[in-house]
Amino acid sequence: MNEQVTAVSLAVSTVIFALRDDDDNGRSSLRIPLVRRIREPFAGRWALPGGPIEAAESLGEAAGRNLLETTGLEPTYLEQLYAFGDVERSAGERVVSIVYWALVRPAEADRATVGDNVRWFPADELPELAFDHNEIVAYALWRLRTKLEYSRIAHAFIGETFTIAELRGVHEAILQRELDPANFRRQIESSKAIIDTGERVTGARHRPPKLYRYDSSVSLTENGPLSRP
Amino acid sequence: MNEQVTAVSLAVSTVIFALRDDDDNGRSSLRIPLVRRIREPFAGRWALPGGPIEAAESLGEAAGRNLLETTGLEPTYLEQLYAFGDVERSAGERVVSIVYWALVRPAEADRATVGDNVRWFPADELPELAFDHNEIVAYALWRLRTKLEYSRIAHAFIGETFTIAELRGVHEAILQRELDPANFRRQIESSKAIIDTGERVTGARHRPPKLYRYDSSVSLTENGPLSRP
């Protein structure tokens, strides 16, 4: 092991997923915020929010700072995704980008900086992005959809308490397909991931649906020894 | 997104797991090769094999090359684990290390360079290593044990065909605990991960055990869009 200095430079980028209401069909869809590049290479193209790493900050701190500076977002969930370092990915320069991903609730997403140079895009319908960022988003989407099956990842998109139908809506938006309501209820109830709060939705309905919460004893992430409190 | 140049330097390291026969109890245990550092910082301490990234190689290529140069190992399975970049991890210098992990079969492990400066250690009983390498190995062990539950990761440790008992031995060595033979057989058969080859172990036994193989239509890794052929 020789941790020698090398000429390759380093950056961080973040893929941020949020569920936003769709204008046309009344359902939610998965969206990501992109930043328009104002200089070369790829001036004018949309790109993932990101930037350089300062000497005095960890990788996660660098990801969080760059995200805040470019979009105003401060997600509570920020996890390392993958380091992208193909030789040809950065138009002549040699840049390795350590990519984080973040999941934000709609209320957090609404706090994002609005302006000509930040815009939310449907995660499945992106223009041609700068660098290899289309490939990065495709990988992040795949990871999100894979993780949904065996973890509590949907939690990051909804409130503390929720109905089974709301939770199904989150899964449908991420997976981009409809799920059978009875099957979904059976699966999620048998998974022991959620807990009946004993409360019900308030309102005038005859049989208001039950409210559930996630079992907080189970960590949202699965970083094991790397998990932070 | 501004992929700017930064002063932080970059290295790759690899955690290589192999099952080696234990001298004392006749069973296999999980071992990793370490390299003794011959210069500061941490001169004399054991460390993960690794080194710098060259301008013309991808991260995976850099990991493979450094591994070959330091240990003589050329594993068929090499996957990115995590990028470690805490500010204080590298004794004054600021080095981000992108860590890969590799799994090797015993025959590959035997081809490793033997010398004063390369030695195999039991993965659960390491000395104090250079840098944050103890933490890195702990994380790699956690990932290996977690992955074992839901993927075909044990495949990387055994031959093309195997008996259920051999496969159970691999799982026991990785998890460091005994598994009930009947339960293990039921679980692995119901998982559809393995296929009955129709062959049996040759030899003089009255009822030679069946030979199985993994379903090769299922990828060993789970990198999705990043998977290589």
Q: Which pLDDT band, with edges at 50, 70 and 90, does A75 fall under? A: confident
Q: Where are the beta strands (DSSP E) in chain A?
A: 9-21, 28-36, 46-47, 50-52, 77-84, 95-104, 118-122, 194-200, 210-214
Residues 57-76 of B with CB under 8 A from A: 57-59, 70
Q: Which pLDDT band, with edges at 50, 70 and 90, does B136 fall under? A: very high
pLDDT in tens, A126-143: 999 999 999 999 999 998
Task: Place domain B9-148 in its CATH homologous superfamily.
Answer: Nucleoside Triphosphate Pyrophosphohydrolase (3.90.79.10)
Write the class of the CATH domain B153-214.
mainly alpha
Percent of chain B predicted with pLDDT > 70: 86
Contact A73, A104 (CB under 8 A): yes
Which chain A residues have a beta carbon less than 8 Å from that of B86? 58
Q: What single letter denotes the amino acid at residue A127?
A: P
CB contact under 8 A, B9 and A6: yes
B51, B54, B85 ranked by CB distance to A58: nearest: B85
Is the ipTM value over 0.85, yes or no? Answer: no
Report the predicted TM-score, pTM, of the whole model to 2 decimal places. Answer: 0.82
Q: Which pLDDT band, with edges at 50, 70 and 90, does A224 fall under? A: low
Q: Which pLDDT band, with edges at 50, 70 and 90, does A222 fall under? A: low
CB contact under 8 A, A1 and B13: yes
Q: Which pLDDT band, with edges at 50, 70 and 90, does B3 fall under? A: very low
Q: How many of the other CB atoms lie within 10 Å of CB of B45? A: 17
A2 touching chain B per CB within 8 A: yes
B160 touching chain A per CB within 8 A: no
B132 touching chain A per CB within 8 A: no
B50, B56, B80 ranked by CB distance to A82: nearest: B80
Which residues have C-beta within 8 Å of that of residue B150, sequence separation ≥ 6? Answer: A150
Number of cross-chain residue pairs from A and B with Cβ atoms under 8 Å apart: 157
> Residue A25, class by beta-carbon neighbours within 10 Å (0-12 exposed, 13-18 middle, 19+ buried)?
exposed
Position with higher pLDDT, B138 vs B116 = B138
Residues 182-201 of B with CB under 8 A from A: none
CB contact under 8 A, B1 and A142: no
B1, B37, B54 ranked by CB distance to A35: nearest: B1
Write the class of the CATH domain A9-147.
alpha beta
Q: What is the pLDDT of residue A5?
A: 42
Search chain B and give the residue with CA nearest A55: B8
Q: What is the pLDDT of residue B150?
A: 61
B150, B174, B57, B81: which is closest to A86 by C-alpha?
A: B57
Q: How many CA within 13 A on the CB side of residue A4?
A: 14
CB contact under 8 A, A85 and B59: yes
Q: Which one of B2, B14, B143 would you mutate to disrupt binding with A, by most A Cβ within 10 Å of its Cβ?
A: B2
A163 touching chain B per CB within 8 A: no
DSSP state of B111: T
| Cα–Cα distance, A171 to A145 (Å, whole number) | 9
Q: What is the pLDDT of residue B6?
A: 44
Q: Which pLDDT band, with edges at 50, 70 and 90, does A184 fall under? A: very high
User: Which of B70-74, B136-140, B165-169 is the most confident on average?
Assistant: B136-140
Query: Helix (H, G, I), strand (E, B), or coil: what is residue B173?
Result: helix
Q: Where are the domains of chain B?
A: 9-148, 153-214
Q: Which pLDDT band, with edges at 50, 70 and 90, does A193 fall under? A: confident
A28 touching chain B per CB within 8 A: no
Position with higher pLDDT, B165 vs B191 = B165
Position with higher pLDDT, B222 vs B117 = B117
A12 touching chain B per CB within 8 A: no
pLDDT in tens, B152-163: 778 778 878 899
| Cα–Cα distance, B146 to A222 (Å, whole number) | 9
A126 touching chain B per CB within 8 A: no
Q: What is the pLDDT of residue B194?
A: 87
Which residues have C-beta within 8 Å of that of residue B179, sequence separation ≥ 6? Answer: B168, B171, B172
- Give the closest-approach CA distance of A203 to chain B in angstroms: 43
B37, B224, B225 ranked by CB distance to A1: nearest: B37
Which chain A residues have a beta carbon less than 8 Å from that of B9? 3-6
Q: What is the pLDDT of residue B206?
A: 81
Average pLDDT score over residue span B161-189: 90
Q: What single letter denotes the amino acid at residue B57?
A: E
Among A1-5, A98-102, B99-103, name the one with the lowest average pLDDT. A1-5
Q: What is the pLDDT of residue A24?
A: 66
Q: What single letter denotes the amino acid at residue A53?
A: I
Q: Is the pLDDT of residue B19 over 90?
A: no
Which chain B residues have a beta carbon less than 8 Å from that of A65? none
Q: What is the pLDDT of residue A74?
A: 86
Which chain A residues have a beta carbon less than 8 Å from that of B35? 1
Q: Which pLDDT band, with edges at 50, 70 and 90, does A3 fall under? A: very low
Looking at every residue in chain B, the average pLDDT score rounds to 84
Average pLDDT score over residue span B187-195: 82
Q: Which pLDDT band, with edges at 50, 70 and 90, does B197 fall under? A: very high
- Give the closest-approach CA distance of B98 to chain A in angstroms: 8
Q: Is the pLDDT of residue A228 over 60?
A: no
